[in-house]
């Protein structure tokens, strides 16, 4: 299996409703839901996924968080979404690189 790059964008606690009503018929709705810690991450194909993690892994994934930012390129006037580790990071415009490759420059 080839390891894919994943961009962790959030650590969250959500409630797992899976099979909670089968154990006891009185546990319906939010009563039977179990809290689950997990991470939301983007794959290389920009698909949002959720994966369960242990509470001991929270500091590790907190150090690997990426921030989604809407950026503006003053040269070509386009807006694009980018992932940065820090707010001081500067990304190259993907549209400007594409135009330069088409022109042969």
43-72 pLDDT, tens digit per residue, is 888 899 999 999 999 999 999 898 888 888
84-95 pLDDT, tens digit per residue, is 888 888 888 888
Q: Does any domain span residue 1?
A: no
Say how many domains are in the chain.
1
Q: How far apart are CA 55 and CA 50, in angstroms?
A: 15
Q: Does any domain span residue 2?
A: no
Q: Does any domain span residue 59?
A: yes
Q: How far apart are CA 54 and CA 74, in angstroms?
A: 43
* Domain range for 25: 7-103
Per-residue pLDDT at 105? 47
Q: Does any domain span residue 96?
A: yes
Q: Does any domain span residue 30?
A: yes
């Amino acid at each position: 299996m080839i390891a894919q790059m994943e961009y962790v964008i959030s650590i969250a606690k959500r409630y797992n409703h899976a099979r909670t009503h089968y154990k006891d018929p009185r546990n319906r709705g939010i009563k039977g839901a179990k809290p689950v810690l997990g991470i939301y991450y983007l794959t290389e194909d920009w698909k949002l996924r959720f994966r369960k993690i242990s509470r001991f892994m929270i500091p590790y994934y907190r150090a690997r968080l990426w921030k989604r930012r809407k950026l503006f390129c003053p040269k070509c006037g386009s807006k694009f979404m980018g992932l940065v580790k820090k707010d001081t990071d500067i990304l190259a415009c993907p549209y400007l690189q594409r135009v330069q490759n088409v022109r042969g420059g």
